[in-house]
């Protein structure tokens, strides 16, 4: 079977069909000022372009100094609603400012992250917004050397180097864990399971630290049974929860990541454990399934829309070279988290 070749209409094709010159088509398509072209010719050119589904060659236009402004938004997980929401907010800001976002998924793979960043550089990206892997700082070395605008989101860069002048937007991971630990401790739980991501990520470590310190402060005699996986996947949450309940029977479970919670709650239901009668559940993140009628979970809202909006606004200012705005005067932008408690009637209460 011969390979099918893509055939895009060219400006010459449009000129031929419109029975005019290439220059005239260029003037019409680019809306060049100070060019006297009859309305009849303009209509003919536009009709020909529509018939041929003609689109201007962005690369060629870029070579003539009319390059579309592009920003690569590189995230570690497409299938994580946290990053989906962050990306949606970023897109809204970039589109409103005539910037084209190119969204890519590293799948938590540092090598893939490096390849995507290298591609962004070769395509002359105007900026990069990155939810980094553990190698994110190393992989963005050339980005920083070339002074390409860079904004980190969701996770801090892992490095011993000074990142104080690198833009970062995220939620307060320590507070997320602390709020969850405080709630469970105040509710009187003496045996608590903690299902977490086994990662050197600063956000993962801060979340763990906040939870343990809150429980220790309020209920120092409480036991915390920790299980962790390097895989931030639903099935991993199922297996980790099963592992805990094969050893002991905690009265509460804290899921530091909602993807683990999704699998863990499936296991609890299979064991006919009622939530919160038999076991209280709290998770970081607000996935859609946690808001279904009849659920009685407590979630920690990380305010993804705020994160994406702030990151997008910072990038717009950096691309435009405007550092006079208050939003670019600070390099770190961290939002507080909120507890969201759901009841049987799907009503929510924030604390």
Q: Looking at residues 284-306, what average pLDDT do you find?
A: 84
Instruction: Please report, for the chain, the start and end positions of each structural domain, with discontinuous segments joined by +.
Output: 11-63, 70-171+305-336, 173-302+339-350
Rounded Cα distance, 267 and 232, in Å: 16
Phi first, then psi, for residue 100 (nearest 5°) are -90, 115
Q: Looking at residues 122-146, what average pLDDT do you find?
A: 94
Whether the per-residue pLDDT at 348 is higher than 70: the answer is no
Q: What is the Cα 144 distance to its own chain's centre?
A: 21
192 to each of 216, 236, 280, how far by Cα in Å? 12, 19, 9
Which of 198, 72, 229 minimizes the C-alpha distance to 139? 72
Rounded Cα distance, 109 and 25, in Å: 46
Please, which residues have CB within 8 angstroms of residue 199's CB and are 6 or more apart in sequence?
134, 205, 230, 232
59-71: pLDDT as tens digits: 556 555 566 899 9
Concatenated DSSP letters of 318-339: HHTT---SGGGT-SEEEEPPEE
Q: What is the CATH number of domain 173-302+339-350?
A: 3.40.50.2300
Confidence of residue 157 (pLDDT cuts 50, 70, 90): very high
Question: Per the structure block, which two tokens stand in for 2?
Answer: 């011969």
Q: Looking at residues 327-340, what average pLDDT do you find?
A: 95
Q: What's residue 295's pLDDT?
A: 66
Q: What is the CATH number of domain 11-63?
A: 1.10.260.40
More confident residue, 109 or 346: 109
Q: What's residue 26's pLDDT?
A: 87
Q: What's residue 10's pLDDT?
A: 86
- Among 13-27, 60-74, 332-346, the range scoring the smallest mean pLDDT is 60-74
Q: What's residue 35's pLDDT?
A: 75
Q: Looking at residues 244-269, what average pLDDT do you find?
A: 95
Per the CB < 8 A criterion, the answer to whether 105 and 75 are in contact is: yes
- Dihedral sign for Cα 55, 58, 59, 62, please: positive
Q: Looking at residues 144-162, what average pLDDT do you find?
A: 94
Q: What's residue 52's pLDDT?
A: 86
- Whether 70-171+305-336 and 11-63 are alike in CATH topology: the answer is no
Q: What is the Cα 149 distance to its own chain's centre?
A: 17
Concatenated DSSP letters of 10-55: -HHHHHHHHTS-HHHHHHHHTT-TT----HHHHHHHHHHHHHTT--
Whether the per-residue pLDDT at 3 is higher than 50: the answer is no
Confidence of residue 58 (pLDDT cuts 50, 70, 90): low
Per the CB < 8 A criterion, the answer to whether 234 and 262 are in contact is: yes
106-124: pLDDT as tens digits: 999 999 999 999 999 988 8
Q: Which fold has domain 70-171+305-336?
A: Rossmann fold (3.40.50)
Q: Which residues pair with 338 in a beta bridge?
A: 301
Q: What's residue 1's pLDDT?
A: 44
Rg (CA), the chain: 26
């Amino acid at each position: 079977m011969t390979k099918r070749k893509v055939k895009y209409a060219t400006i010459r094709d449009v000129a031929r069909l419109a029975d005019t010159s290439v220059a005239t088509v260029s003037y019409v398509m680019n809306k060049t000022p100070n060019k006297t072209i009859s309305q009849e010719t303009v209509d003919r050119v536009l009709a020909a372009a529509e018939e041929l589904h003609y689109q201007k060659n962005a690369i060629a236009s870029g070579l003539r100094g009319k390059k579309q402004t592009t920003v690569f938004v590189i995230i570690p997980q497409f299938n994580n609603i946290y990053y989906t929401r962050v990306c949606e907010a970023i897109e809204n800001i970039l589109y409103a400012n005539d910037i084209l976002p190119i969204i890519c998924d590293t799948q938590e793979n540092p090598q893939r992250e490096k390849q995507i960043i290298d591609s962004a550089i070769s395509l002359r990206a105007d900026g990069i917004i990155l939810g980094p892997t553990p190698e994110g700082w190393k992989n963005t070395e050339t980005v920083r050397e070339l002074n390409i605008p860079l904004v980190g989101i969701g996770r801090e860069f892992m490095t011993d180097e000074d990142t104080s002048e690198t833009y970062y937007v995220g939620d307060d991971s320590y507070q997320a864990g602390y709020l969850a630990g405080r709630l469970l401790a105040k509710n009187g739980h003496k045996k608590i399971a903690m299902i977490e991501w086994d990662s050197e990520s600063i956000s993962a470590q801060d979340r763990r630290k906040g939870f343990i310190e809150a429980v220790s402060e309020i209920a120092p005699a409480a036991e915390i049974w920790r299980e962790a996986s390097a895989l931030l996947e639903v099935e991993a949450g199922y297996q980790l929860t099963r592992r805990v309940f094969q050893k002991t029977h905690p009265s509460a479970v804290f899921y530091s990541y909602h993807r683990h919670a999704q699998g863990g709650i499936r296991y609890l239901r299979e064991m006919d454990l009622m939530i919160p009668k038999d076991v209280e559940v709290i998770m970081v993140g607000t996935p859609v399934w946690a808001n279904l009628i009849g659920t009685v979970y407590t979630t920690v809202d990380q305010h993804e829309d705020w994160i994406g909006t702030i990151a997008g606004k910072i990038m717009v200012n950096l691309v435009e070279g405007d550092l006079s705005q208050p939003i670019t005067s600070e390099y770190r932008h961290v939002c507080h988290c909120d507890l969201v408690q759901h009841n049987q009637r799907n009503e929510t209460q924030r604390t």
